[in-house]
Structure 1
Amino acid sequence: MTLQEAFEEQAGHCIALGSPFMGQLMGVLARDWPADTALGRKFAAFTGDIGPSGASLPLRIAGGLHALVLKRKAPALMAVYPPHKASDQALSEAVRDAITTHEAFLLDWTDSAPQTNEVRRSAALIAGARVAAQHFNLPIRLSELGASGGLNLMWDHFVLEIEGHRFGSNMSTILLSPDWTGKLPPAINPQVEKRRGVDLNPLDPTRPDHLLRLMSYIWADQPERLTLTRTAASVMTAQVQRGDAIDWLARTLPQSPEGCLHLIQHTVAWQYFPKAAQARGKALIEAAGKRATRNRPLAWLSMEQDGSGLKGAALTLRLWPGDITLPLARVDFHGRWIDWTYTG
């Protein structure tokens, strides 16, 4: 995939996910990418999958540009970002100016993969965890791979609402109400005893600079997502450690105690792991599953692209003992809708 193709593909995804501005920005970058700049040369040197299913170079630069807007560091860019509307030419000129003026900032910013921490994905996690708890009604030890700021480790503090039915804490002010098709999730209420996560670049939402990174990867013409992220950050108490997710998993899996369900989760994070790391992680989890017992069970809940060509991500749950694989749903990447197919 060429860089132009990556921008064009990302433009299509952004429009499909309800962001016409991001579709416009990606289209402008596809046509007018400044290949003669330091950032242009850096992106040209990337190898492997640079598109939305891999390193996501288009979203890296989009996040950096949005950060400049949120920091109020690029007045010309602010003038063409939402809530303002601008022509392609005006947007292109402002982007080119920002890339040259803030070269050092953007070169550093784009070293790391996107860290969206989309809170609406917790709707799928709430439902999936209820299926796991239905099979093993034990306190949950929750582990998240690629946790970013850890906001989705807090799903038991949120409420999932489906056609008037509410699942979760009655005290929560964070309401998730995706368009839902299919049966309701199980009524059982999971109890999270302990939560922890890992990320190569963990973010602390209580720190302004870290919250900026989370907010920067939310698309500028979707203010409701920005508000939801700020609200979720206010209840964040989970611990997210810095480290390689698979090395951390190798240390964490043997620590699962008796009398608890160890639930491993990740949402649109697995694709950023190198292929060798994916294979090692899968082998580690499956080996731990073979050692699982009814009083020390293991669950693996993933919301990831599956290459099927179907819309959205696949929400899948694997359970041990027994190595049961349960396809649960198709989920919009931003959690706007859930097509729940599980009937158990």
Structure 2
Amino acid sequence: MRRALLAQARASAELGSPMYAELLLRAADEPDAVAGVLGDRTGTRHILGMLGTVHRIVLEGRAPELAAHYPTAGGTEDPLRAWPAFRDVLAGHAAEIREGLAEPPQTNEVGRAAPLVGGLLTVAEAAGLPVRLLEIGASAGLNLRADHFRFLYEGGAYGPESPVVLADAWRGLPPVGAPLAVAERRGCDPNPLDASSPDAQRRLLSYVWPDQAERVARLRAAFEVAARVPAEVVRMGAADFLDGLAPREGVATVVWHSTMRAYLSRDEAARVDRGIEEAGAAATAAAPLAHLSFEGRDASRLDAVQVVTLRLWPGGERAVLGEAPAHGLPTTWL
């Protein structure tokens, strides 16, 4: 447990959350304080689940002493001194926090739109067709609206005026001159969230690290975009959602996902890959199919550096387009 907590503390520091890095370092020094919550569940998803569930309790107003250290709850006390109050919440809400570990974190990180849209522009340039966008592990479907975000890069910007502005989105450039039009946007998730629901918004916010003001602002801005851009997200596993997948004449069908393969069982991941391969084999120039992903190099863990990978049929050759930190910003195009 101590090794796992220290590893996640390092990852939190690398990804820009001194608060979570400090909390996890303190937890590693006092493993008994988290043992009653984590038990033998020490994977990244479980540690993030613990942090997220505590954050949700804070956002619901049920931990005022700890809330004083959380900027997302209006707290003004030093976030790096939150450990004693955090430890008290672990003890007082242990059963609820253990229950929260059963569900995967629902991050729906808006910053991951940077690698995804860059890859989508690559598809649009190659295909010259409108896009039929399908997302697996879509959570609340915020990134299904990513073509309505604005991306800033050195010397320019891409996308419409938008509440969501991704600063320093790209190092190097994807093909920003490609005509991109999204004709359909659908996704799936085992536990989809309604982006218009205050409860769902609070759940999504709970998985954003509370001392990362830019991520918090991006998420809240994405709720505004979701309110005016429709997208359907159905309650379904990834493999079932892709069952019967086929290319469609006159559109480029794009299956995309980000930081979700680690949550699939080996069997489901194999079914997903098989479904995409079979659909790709039926693709033509008039009905192309693409598989676009932003995932860790090792899909069994949530790496700090992830790669943007594209397979485009006909052909289906694999190309690594770029890489980025796990939250997507900045994306460096290769």
TM-score by length of 1: 0.88
Q: Distance in 1 between matches of 2:330 and 2:120?
A: 17
Cα distance change on mapping 1:16 and 1:248 into 2, 3 Å: same
Letter of the structure 1 residue corresponding to residue 193 of structure 2: L
Aligned counterpart, 1:29: 27
Question: SS of 1:177's equivalent?
Answer: strand
| Residue identity (%) | 37
Structure 1 residue 58 and structure 2 residue 47: aligned? yes
CA shift, 1:105, in A, is: 2.7
State whether residues 127 and 185 of structure 1, in contact with CA within 8 Å, keep that contact through their aligned partners in structure 2.
yes
Letter of the structure 1 residue corresponding to residue 210 of structure 2: A
Post-superposition Cα deviations, 1:75-99, rounded to whole Å, max 9, x if no partner, equal: 12113434421666xx343223212
CA shift, 1:297, in A, is: 0.8
Structure 1 residue 4 and structure 2 residue 6: aligned? no
State whether residues 268 and 305 of structure 1, in contact with CA within 8 Å, keep that contact through their aligned partners in structure 2.
yes
Question: SS of 1:234's equivalent?
Answer: helix
Aligned counterpart, 1:144: 135
Letter of the structure 2 residue corresponding to residue 59 of structure 1: L
CA shift, 1:179, in A, is: 5.5
Q: 1:249 aligns with which of 227, 232, 242?
A: 242
Aligned counterpart, 1:209: 199
Letter of the structure 2 residue corresponding to residue 33 of structure 1: P
Aligned counterpart, 1:153: 144
Question: SS of 2:243's equivalent?
Answer: helix
Q: Distance in 2 between matches of 1:319 and 1:177?
A: 29
Aligned counterpart, 1:319: 312
Q: How does 1:272-287 map to 2 (within 5 A)?
A: 272-287=263-278
CA shift, 1:316, in A, is: 0.6
Q: 1:328 aligns with which of 296, 321, 327?
A: 321
CA shift, 1:121, in A, is: 0.9
Structure 1 residue 337 and structure 2 residue 327: aligned? no
Q: Distance in 2 between matches of 1:260 and 1:184?
A: 21
Post-superposition Cα deviations, 1:284-316, rounded to whole Å, max 9, x if no partner, equal: 111111111111110011000003999610101
Post-superposition Cα deviations, 1:1-47, rounded to whole Å, max 9, x if no partner, equal: xx32221111101100111001011112222234687524xx32x4x
Question: SS of 1:315's equivalent?
Answer: strand
Structure 1 residue 173 and structure 2 residue 171: aligned? no
Post-superposition Cα deviations, 1:243-277, rounded to whole Å, max 9, x if no partner, equal: 111111114x13x4211111011110111111121
Post-superposition Cα deviations, 1:219-251, rounded to whole Å, max 9, x if no partner, equal: 010122112111111121211111111111114
State whether residues 37 and 100 of structure 1, in contact with CA within 8 Å, keep that contact through their aligned partners in structure 2.
no
Aligned counterpart, 1:199: 189
Aligned counterpart, 2:59: 70
Question: SS of 2:102's equivalent?
Answer: coil
Letter of the structure 2 residue corresponding to residue 282 of structure 1: D
CA RMSD of aligned residues (A): 2.1
State whether residues 160 and 166 of structure 1, in contact with CA within 8 Å, keep that contact through their aligned partners in structure 2.
yes
Q: Distance in 2 between matches of 1:191 and 1:100?
A: 51
Q: Distance in 1 between matches of 2:199 and 2:63?
A: 17
Cα distance change on mapping 1:183 and 1:194 into 2, 3 Å: closer
Q: Distance in 1 between matches of 2:201 and 2:173?
A: 36
Residues 126-135 or 173-182, more deviating? 173-182
Q: Distance in 2 between matches of 1:122 and 1:36?
A: 34
* Unaligned segments of structure 1, at least 5 residues: none
Cα distance change on mapping 1:336 and 1:37 into 2, 3 Å: closer
Structure 1 residue 116 and structure 2 residue 107: aligned? yes
